[in-house]
A and B are shown apart, each in its own frame.
Chain A
Amino acid sequence: MTHLPVPKTYKLYIGGAFPRSESGRVYEVTSAKGEFLANAAKASRKDARDAVVAARAALSGWAGTTAYNRGQVLYRIAELLEGRSAQFVEELRLTDGISAAAALKQVETAIDTWVWYAGWADKYAQVAGNANPVAGPYFNISVPEPTGVVAIVAPESDGLLGLVSVIAPVLVSGNTAVVIASEGSPLSAVTLSEVLATSDVPGGVVNILTGSAAEIAPWLAGHADVNALDLAGAGALDWVDLEATAADTLKRVLPPQNGVPAATLSRIGFFTETKTVWHTKALI
Chain B
Amino acid sequence: MTTTQTRFLDYSPAPESTSILNLRESYGLFIDGEFVDGNGKAFSTISPATEKKIAEIAYADANDVDRAVKAARRAYDRTWSTMSGTDRGKYLFRIARLVQERARELAVAESLDNGKPIKESRDVDIPLVAAWFFYYAGWADKLDHAGLGPNPRSLGVAAQIVPWNFPLLMLAWKIAPALAAGNTVVLKPADTTPLSALIFAEILQQADLPPGVVNFVNGGGDTGAALVNHKDVDKVAFTGSTPVGRIIAKSLAGTGKSITLELGGKAANIVFDDAPLDQAIEGIVNGIFFNQGHVCCAGSRLLVQENIEDEVVERLKDRLGTLRLGDPLDKNTDIGAINSRAQLDRIRELSDIGEAEGATRWSAPCEIPANGFWFAPTIFTGVETSHRIARDEIFGPVLSVLTFRTPAEAISKANNTPFGLSAGIWTDKGSKILAVADKLRAGVIWANTFNRFDPASPFGGYKESGYGREGGRHGLAAYLAASPLGGTTRKAGQ
Contact = CB atoms under 8 A, between A and B. Distances in A.
Is the pairing of A and B real? yes
B482 A274 contact: no
A250 B458 contact: no
Contact of A276 (B256, B445, B467, B482): B445
B154 interface: no
Nearest to B474: A274
Interface in B432-449: 433, 437, 441-449
A255 interface: yes
Contact of B452 (A113, A138, A273): A138
B457 A140 contact: yes
A278 B474 contact: no
B253 A128 contact: no
B447 A273 contact: no
A250 B449 contact: no
Contact of B256 (A224, A255, A273): A255
SS class, residues of chain A in contact with chain B: mixed
B490 interface: yes
Interface stretch (A82-90, A193-201, A202-210, A237-245): A237-245
B473 interface: yes
Looking at chain B, what size class is its interface with the partner chain? 35 or more
Interface stretch (A32-40, A49-57, A177-185, A261-269): A261-269
B467 A239 contact: no
Contact of A138 (B263, B441, B449, B467): B449
Interface string A244-267: 101111101101000000111110
Contacts of B254: 239-240, 243-244
Nearest to B445: A277
A250 B492 contact: no
B24 interface: no
Contacts of A24: none
B256 A113 contact: no
Contacts of A274: 443, 458, 460, 469, 474
Nearest to B131: A135
A121 B459 CA distance: 24
Given A240-B253, A278-B449, A250 B261 contact: yes
Interface in B445-482: 445-449, 452, 454, 456-460, 462-464, 466-467, 469, 472-474, 482
Given A247-B253, A248-B250, A276 B458 contact: yes
20 contacts: A130-B473, A132-B454, A132-B458, A138-B452, A148-B463, A227-B463, A243-B253, A250-B246, A253-B253, A262-B489, A264-B487, A265-B487, A265-B488, A265-B489, A266-B482, A273-B462, A274-B469, A275-B445, A278-B452, A280-B447
Interface of A: 109, 112-113, 116, 127-128, 130, 132-136, 138, 140, 142, 147-148, 224, 227, 239-241, 243-244, 246-250, 252-253, 255, 262-266, 273-280
Given A244-B250, A244-B253, A263-B489, 5 more contacts: A109-B492, A250-B263, A265-B487, A266-B482, A276-B459
